[in-house]
Structure 1
């Protein structure tokens, strides 16, 4: 048998195998695939993977809001109305009515009159900031947390008691770390003192828990970095302490995970 005949027989054999494979596959629809070992021409049944679900579009919250309000928002930044005072070391809190509340901070680096004594609110859809009533305490590097009833808990920081209207400013009136807390009610524009925390602290982090309590994590007190955990319960208007962290932290970050555990990362030591 010469080479040409061998080649012809090989091609015929391959065509017969291919036809048989196609004919076999056309008999029924299957949910598995067949793989072939080309060396021994032995077919092996391999279960097919479960079909993947048809991909669906991820909801776009921005688009949903735009459709609901009938507006179109383009990506980018735009200038809003200016605050009455430029400030740093403050907090920004989104209220239940979607207004933005700015609390505390310092308006300049001078020793006297450094802290801001009023908050400012930007109503939804407005570019005009409104001034709140005066705090009970000037604060910088504090925490501010929205409570379930719409009020805002402000805790700790560094600062001093706010002077009463008409009270003369002392020549020297320095700041100190605070363990005081107060609550702002945006409906009445009033500040109410809350019970003091166990530790004076600034540069702490606050997390609102699933049940509405507020957890204050770490911070700095004087020259010491804290590992303490204090929790405010708005129902009983009281503070309690939890087991401290393994490591002391200040100027750190904290986030609540989807399983309600708290992840605390990074730290700054004195």
Structure 2
């Protein structure tokens, strides 16, 4: 930046540097997606088209932003986990969050036409917010993703039962809400099976477990040396990422089996 009499304003800027040697998770959440989904007539309780769009957006982040080793998402949210040794953007919180959120939003808009016939309207565009949280070790990181997957299951079981009561049972949304008030998971499963012949276990794994994205093979980032990577390093890594396949999985990420195969390299 060239020196000038106005440069003093830069003194007002403050950076928040995230703790070193911790796993960083940046979570992206849709803003106002209840209205957004209603405007574009998303199918209830799950719209495969919308899930495909958000998964493509997450893939775009995965390939564009280095040092991410896994992501998990469902509905209108996605969580991206950065390796604990990552020094991307010197671990500046604002830079990390804004980069992930803006990249995610750009890819979401780009992917929309591949799934929906109706184009996005300027007055109803998708927007997202984000936050970054540091987790000190692998156990806590695993518990974070377990929390998100359990939340996915609870919400999907409720929504599946709720919309079945409305669309197939003829109840109003208020009546369905009252019917489900105070019910347990077993009660909801019983309603689906005994009244509508629906075995919840046979529902799509993507709906029940969400989507987990991992590299098909380990990929070492370029931000681990303590210095900002050069333009040439970034270009080289982007080229390498473009050749490695991503896996989109709809599996249990709570048990050890997943983490033994796809978890971070602890060596």
- What TM-score do you get using the length of structure 2 for normalisation? 0.21
* Higher gyration radius (CA): 1
More helix by share: 2
Q: Which has the higher strand share?
A: 1
